Amino acid sequence: MKFNTKTIHGGQKPEEATGAVMPPIFQTSTFAQSSPGKHKGYGYARGANPTRTALENSFAAIENGTNGFAFASGMAAIDCVLRLLKPGDEVIAGDDLYGGTYRMFTQLFQKYGLEFSYVDMNSVENVTNAITQKTKLIWIETPTNPLMKIADIQAISSAVKNINTAILIAVDNTFATPYLQKPLDLGADIVMHSATKYLGGHSDVIMGALIVKEEKLAKEIHFIQFAAGAIAGPMDSFLVLRGIKTLHIRMQRHCENGKLVAEFLENHPKVGTVYFPGLENHLGHKIAKKQMKDFGGMVSFKLKGESKEATFKFLENTKLFTLAESLGGIESLVNHPVTMSHASIPEQERLKIGITDSLVRLSVGIEDIEDLLADLEQALSL
């Protein structure tokens, strides 16, 4: 199946008992057994639930994996990946990370003996030069949150595996979605999503996802998911599965609108730097063009003069771009990383990579582009 068909039919079949086209919401915690240990594939819902199974099959299909896993949140999914490691192991991550990921690395797992180093993944050599005998995981975000940096997944995966095939490559594919890039096809071992975002697509659910190809790794992840228990519930699974069925048509409009918003901002007299991989002057444009189908709907920018007051005035006066956490929904959102999504990163670390008070992150929705541009223009003109 081609991708657009996979979003609707991938891993899916009519429900066996009734023939329901959409999987029912199996709102149950346990399942009857005909004899001790004998059941129809489902014993206790922490281990598996038919609605969650349908979603996990869809995850696997759209990422070209063999096994998908649905978690209670994106952070629960990342937590599961880190539980594959043991004290003394090292993780190499990009220097521009979602604030929640950085918080989990530094304030949780560092206490439990994991070691973390951060490099600019614009360069493959920065990654390979950081590898030591302790390195067990490479954590990649691309495009990054919020500076839209691009990492070459295939080049990094190949170079790392040439050094040590046992090192795992994990990619946070939240910004791109499998509509735009498929990390498993580029050499990654694990794909992670905050399914809260584009996969759900309607800002009405919190969920995380992991997808893998290798069976041994899948068994390890399933054990951690079952043992730790941070699973997605059946209602949330139903909502995200419904969201995936329109992912391809939503992403087309997100990409169209994102490009036009980035070009508008690039030519606006009050705007300084624009961070969008679809712009030819973006440092990672060529890599993004190679590994992504299009460039997505996430755009970040800074106002000229780097004034915090002017930035807050803009943020407080948009009408269609709602000032809120999160991203990837059908509606347009505006975010201030320093005080919102990346507030947990120490100021000196934020400033080191360019996350300043004047940085604004837009999640460009699927509204009429003329209305979105008019909203940005009126907020910038105040």
Calculate what percentage of the chain has a pLDDT beyond 70. 100
Burial group, residue 293, by CB count within 10 angstroms (0-12, 13-18, 19+): middle
**Domain match, 282 and 368 both:** yes
Burial group, residue 214, by CB count within 10 angstroms (0-12, 13-18, 19+): middle
Question: In DSSP terms, which residues pair with 359 in a beta bridge?
Answer: 302
Instruction: Return the CATH number at 314.
Output: 3.90.1150.10
**Domain match, 112 and 236 both:** yes
Q: Is it true that the peptide bond before 234 is cis, omega within 30 degrees of 0? A: no
Residue range 77-103: average pLDDT?
Answer: 98
Instruction: Return the CATH number at 83.
Output: 3.40.640.10
Instruction: Tell me which of 214, 242, 270 is where a domain ends.
Output: 242
HSE, CB side, 13 Å, CA atoms: give it for residue 312.
7
Q: Is there a contact between 316 and 323 (Cβ–Cβ < 8 Å)?
A: yes
Instruction: Tell me which of 219, 242, 265 is where a domain ends.
Output: 242
CA-wise closest residue to 140 among 159, 121, 164, 155: 121
Structure tokens at 242: 């419904």
CA-wise closest residue to 156 among 181, 128, 192: 128
Structure confidence by residue, pLDDT tens digits, 12-61: 999 988 999 999 999 999 999 999 999 999 999 999 999 999 999 999 99
Residue range 355-378: average pLDDT?
Answer: 98
Rounded Cα distance between 226 and 224, Å, is 5
Total structural domains within the chain? 2
Q: Provide, for the chain, the percentages of residues in helix, strand and coil under a 3-state DSSP scheme, each rounded to the nearest 5.
A: 40, 15, 45
**Domain match, 174 and 291 both:** no
Predicted pLDDT of residue 112: 96
Query: 312 pLDDT exceeds 90?
Result: yes
Predicted pLDDT of residue 17: 87
**Domain match, 257 and 341 both:** yes
Instruction: Tell me which of 222, 242, 262 is where a domain ends.
Output: 242
Q: How confident is the model at residue 191 (pLDDT cuts 50, 70, 90)?
A: very high
DSSP 56-124: HHHHHHHTT-SEEEEESSHHHHHHHHHTTS-TT-EEEEESS--HHHHHIIIIIITTTT-EEEEE-TTSH
Structure tokens at 380: 């910038």
CA-wise closest residue to 311 among 337, 344, 346, 280: 337
Q: What residues are annotated to the active site? A: 46, 98, 172, 197
Regarding pTM above 0.95, the answer is yes
Structure tokens at 16: 């066996």
Instruction: Determine the straight-line distance between the first and last CA of the chain, rounded to whole angstroms.
Output: 50
Full domain range(s) for residue 111: 3-242
Structure tokens at 304: 């000229």
Burial group, residue 368, by CB count within 10 angstroms (0-12, 13-18, 19+): exposed
Region of 305 please: left (phi>0), alpha (psi -120 to 50) or beta.
left
Structure confidence by residue, pLDDT tens digits, 194-211: 999 999 999 999 999 999
Rounded Cα distance between 222 and 53, Å, is 12
**Distant-in-sequence, close-in-space partners of 334: CB < 8 Å, separation ≥ 6:** 315, 318, 321, 322, 323, 324, 360, 361, 362, 363
Structure tokens at 305: 């003069």
Structure confidence by residue, pLDDT tens digits, 245-284: 999 999 999 999 999 999 999 999 999 999 999 999 999 9
Structure confidence by residue, pLDDT tens digits, 291-310: 999 999 999 999 999 899 99
**Domain match, 40 and 142 both:** yes
**Domain match, 9 and 112 both:** yes
Predicted pLDDT of residue 16: 87
Rounded Cα distance between 251 and 176, Å, is 9
Query: 76 pLDDT exceeds 90?
Result: yes
Predicted pLDDT of residue 263: 98
